[in-house]
A and B are shown apart, each in its own frame.
Chain A
Amino acid sequence: MLQYIGKRLLMMIPTLFAISLIVFTIIQLPPGNYLESYIAELEAQGESVDQQKVAFLREYYGLDKPLPEQYVRWVGGMLHGDFGYSFEFNMPVTKVIGDRMLLTIIVSFATILFTWAIAFPIGIYSATHQYSWGDYGLSLLGFLGIAIPNFMLALVMMYVANVLFGTTIGGLMDPQYIGQPWTWAKIKSVLEHSWIPVIVIGASGTAGMIRRLRANLLDELQKQYVVTARAKGLPPRKVLRKYPLRMALNFFISDIGSLLPHIISGAEITAIVLSLPTTGPMLLNALKSQDMYLAGTFLMFLAALIVIGVLISDLALVALDPRIRLSGGVAR
């Protein structure tokens, strides 16, 4: 068990390393370095450039050094919390980000809970009532959830909420809490504001999850042990509760691996439409203005979030499923 956890943690390091390499390549792709384009932009606007500061930044981030050295500096800085310098906001990335990352995590987590809460009963109903009208109706609803682009859903939901409840949903908390330290009141306000993004982000993920859960459970229901249990005379509900449902629970944990990238992608674009104070809008801006340290940090953070999420789901699975614990590997 401990050995497995250790192995799994060690495997994460090369993955994160490779991800950082890819992210670094992407932020290096635009021609010229960002300091130069920043200076050019300032000069084009007729503003004066603080030569001393430019020289300091160039020295500090090694922008005149060869690429491998820049990479090492970048990764080294990240390891002790220095994510580089945002040229658009003119301050270190760490300060620009503030609690955006935390809010991204909160929204993603809430969405996962929402997805589970919706997908679980519906998936079970669809599987146990295969080919019934309810199954067809719910499947159609699920397909619609996949097919409607979530940015459009976000727009329409925002409008509907505005008309029905009179709330302007542009943000994740009441204005007076922005920039304030975390208190219970602030958390409550965040919860009140987060239901629209959670529903919008969750829509397509839930739909996919219902379909996968249904297929999984249908496979399980046809297995011989279920037939045996039924033949023994167990009431149908008990058969369901005692055997296939427990298999389905495992599936919920192991499916995080495919759910999480989906949710984070959805969270980004939904956040942009709803202008939530999460990573989405800022990432888009950073990419558009080629503020590459900022964009790189966000990409790195989102990828790391997924890697860690998958790690947690794998570990939880080990704790839950004796078959994996005994064979020492995750069977997907």
Chain B
Amino acid sequence: MSTLELPRKASEGDHFVSTEPFDPGSAMRLTPEQERFYLASQWKLMWWKFLRHRVAVVSGVILLLMYGSTVVTEFLAPYNLHSRHTDFIYASPQRVHLFHDGHFIGPFVYAQTKRLDMTNLRRIYTPDRSEPRRLRFFCAGDPYRFWGLVDMSFHFVCPAQNGTLFLLGTDRLGRDMLSRILYGARISLTIGLIGIALSFTLGLVIGGIAGYYGGWVDMTVQRLIEIIRSFPELPLWMALSAVLPVTWSPILIYFGITAILALLDWTGLARAVRSKLLALREEDYTTAARLMGAKPARIIGRHLLPGFMSHLIASATLSIPGMILGETALSFLGIGLRPPITSWGVLLNDAQNINVVALYPWLMLPVVPVIVVILAFNFFGDGLRDAADPYR
């Protein structure tokens, strides 16, 4: 009969303890690539996930280009915002050609000849095929004051000497539409950003307070949000912007309109913040922070918000297009921004009646960048939202 061998009592002598430093990778060796992946930070994972959403990346690039263009608008636009060409009122768009009589002579436009159509009192512009006018690039054109600081006259593209270059036609005062659309981007695009910054702050603060304190504070905020939401947005915007004093300067009106847009927009964000906070404030780490004597502002800002900040940014991005559309609609109706401040909506204000659609359809062109920006923000926001939760 074999005796059952009992485990020997471990004596100090045969218990081996390595003096080598512990290597956490000893069980499974990670290749450098795997390591890069597993040890990546949350933001890095989001970035990778975002890159996989092709449409969102393309939209992001488009947005970047558009916002980038607003920095150097003066340089990109062939004319100034207000330069008028009294000989070319309602001129139709000129096409850029490369070949004249079968010879390549580089990008040029044909000069336009004007004729008055006496039956429906309309100016008709026809290209004069005999006269090619070559475009100049990186040239001196309309003088401007860059960013209101430096006097310059350097443009990306200019018309030939004594020629014209109206790629998108001109309006009722003979102002170049392309230049005006480029300048309009400055206002239309920034109004979305400033507006969202305002409404983001409002949503964070109000939603944060409601969610953290709960109780009657929460009740009041909830009712307030419900009431604001039961107003139809546009009529209320209309009413509020109609009561902005007529004596205000255009720049004040600009900020007033932005504030009005933000004033009705924060509710969705506040709701999201509130419901998240209500859930998170029951977590142990919140209790721990409170026990250690952290103030509410620090608990909300340092411990709770970072947990869902990425979601908030994504949903904020998705509400920018609504603001841009809102401003466009208000200015279109003539109760939003007013000249000399020029946004796409202000430009569309000229395209209010059916005559324009029939006779001068190029006046409706400012709607194209509006559509592109709205689409781009929607896709970009979708991509951000998907990326906001990289662990899923």
- Render A25-40 as a binary contact track against B, CB cut-off 8 A, 1 for contact: 0100111000000000
Shortest A276–chain B CB gap in Å is: 14
Query: Chain B residues near A155 (CB, 8 Å)?
Result: 351-354, 356-357, 364
List the A residue with the shortest CB-CB distance to B325: A149
Shortest B62–chain A CB gap in Å is: 13
For the complex, is B243 an interface residue (Cβ under 8 Å from A)? yes
Please determine whether A269 and B378 come into contact, CB atoms closer than 8 angstroms: no
Please determine whether A299 and B351 come into contact, CB atoms closer than 8 angstroms: no
Query: Chain A residues near B335 (CB, 8 Å)?
Result: 284, 287-288
Please determine whether B348 and A310 come into contact, CB atoms closer than 8 angstroms: no
Query: Chain B residues near A324 (CB, 8 Å)?
Result: none
List the B residue with the shortest CB-CB distance to A308: B230
For the complex, is B223 an interface residue (Cβ under 8 Å from A)? yes
Number of A-B pairs, beta carbon distance below 8 Å? 120
Query: Chain A residues near B348 (CB, 8 Å)?
Result: 149, 151-152
- Render A145-166 as a binary contact track against B, CB cut-off 8 A, 1 for contact: 0111101100110110010000
Please determine whether A261 and B231 come into contact, CB atoms closer than 8 angstroms: yes
Please determine whether A149 and B378 come into contact, CB atoms closer than 8 angstroms: no
Please determine whether A310 and B371 come into contact, CB atoms closer than 8 angstroms: no
Query: Chain B residues near A143 (CB, 8 Å)?
Result: 375, 378-379
For the complex, is B238 an interface residue (Cβ under 8 Å from A)? yes
Query: Chain A residues near B358 (CB, 8 Å)?
Result: 159
Query: Chain B residues near A156 (CB, 8 Å)?
Result: 357, 364
Shortest A309–chain B CB gap in Å is: 9
Query: Chain B residues near A152 (CB, 8 Å)?
Result: 348, 351, 364, 367
Shortest A293–chain B CB gap in Å is: 13
A12-20, A75-83, A123-131, A225-233: which lies at the interface? A12-20
Please determine whether B329 and A146 come into contact, CB atoms closer than 8 angstroms: no
Please determine whether B333 and A265 come into contact, CB atoms closer than 8 angstroms: no
Shortest A274–chain B CB gap in Å is: 10
How many residues does chain A have at the interface if contact means C-beta atoms less than 8 Å apart?
43
Q: How far is the CA of A31 from the CA of B246 in the complex (A)?
A: 11
Q: Is the interface of A mostly helix, strand, loop or mixed?
A: helix
- Render B347-372 as a binary contact track against A, CB cut-off 8 A, 1 for contact: 01001111011100000100100110
List the A residue with the shortest CB-CB distance to B358: A159
Please determine whether B374 and A306 come into contact, CB atoms closer than 8 angstroms: no
Q: How far is the CA of A4 from the CA of B367 in the complex (A)?
A: 47
Please determine whether A306 and B231 come into contact, CB atoms closer than 8 angstroms: yes
List the A residue with the shortest CB-CB distance to B234: A265
Q: A268's contact among B227, B229, B235, B332, by CB below 8 Å, is which? A: B235
Query: Chain A residues near B357 (CB, 8 Å)?
Result: 155-156, 158-159
For the complex, is A110 an interface residue (Cβ under 8 Å from B)? no
Q: How far is the CA of A301 from the CA of B374 in the complex (A)?
A: 31
Q: How far is the CA of A36 from the CA of B235 in the complex (A)?
A: 25
For the complex, is B245 an interface residue (Cβ under 8 Å from A)? yes
Please determine whether A15 and B226 come into contact, CB atoms closer than 8 angstroms: yes
For the complex, is A318 an interface residue (Cβ under 8 Å from B)? no
Shortest A34–chain B CB gap in Å is: 12
Interface residues of B in 209-242 (CB under 8 A from A): 223, 226-227, 229-236, 238-240, 242
List the A residue with the shortest CB-CB distance to B348: A152
Q: Among A14, A29, A290, A310, which residue has the most Cβ atoms of chain B within 10 A?
A: A29
Q: Given A261-B231, A302-B232, A306-B232, are A287 and B239 neighbors across the interface (CB < 8 Å)?
A: yes
Q: Among B232, B245, B328, B335, which residue has the most Cβ atoms of chain A within 10 A?
A: B232
Shortest A86–chain B CB gap in Å is: 16
Q: Given A26-B240, A148-B371, A283-B238, are A261 and B378 neighbors across the interface (CB < 8 Å)?
A: no
For the complex, is B207 an interface residue (Cβ under 8 Å from A)? no
For the complex, is A191 an interface residue (Cβ under 8 Å from B)? no
Shortest B260–chain A CB gap in Å is: 11
Q: A15's contact among B230, B353, B371, by CB below 8 Å, is which? A: B230
For the complex, is A106 an interface residue (Cβ under 8 Å from B)? no
Please determine whether B332 and A306 come into contact, CB atoms closer than 8 angstroms: no
Query: Chain B residues near A265 (CB, 8 Å)?
Result: 232-235
Q: How far is the CA of A26 from the CA of B228 in the complex (A)?
A: 14
Query: Chain A residues near B356 (CB, 8 Å)?
Result: 155
Query: Chain B residues near A151 (CB, 8 Å)?
Result: 329, 332-333, 348
Show 15 A/B contacts (Cβ-Cβ < 8 Å), sorted by A. Answer: A18-B223, A30-B243, A147-B371, A149-B332, A149-B348, A151-B329, A158-B354, A264-B235, A265-B235, A268-B232, A268-B234, A268-B238, A288-B334, A295-B242, A298-B235
Knowing that A149-B371, A288-B242 touch, tell me 5 more A-B residue pairs with CB under 8 angstroms.
A18-B227, A149-B370, A152-B351, A287-B335, A288-B335
* 5 cross-chain pairs, A with B, having the tightest CB-CB distances, nearest first: A265-B234, A287-B242, A147-B374, A264-B232, A159-B357
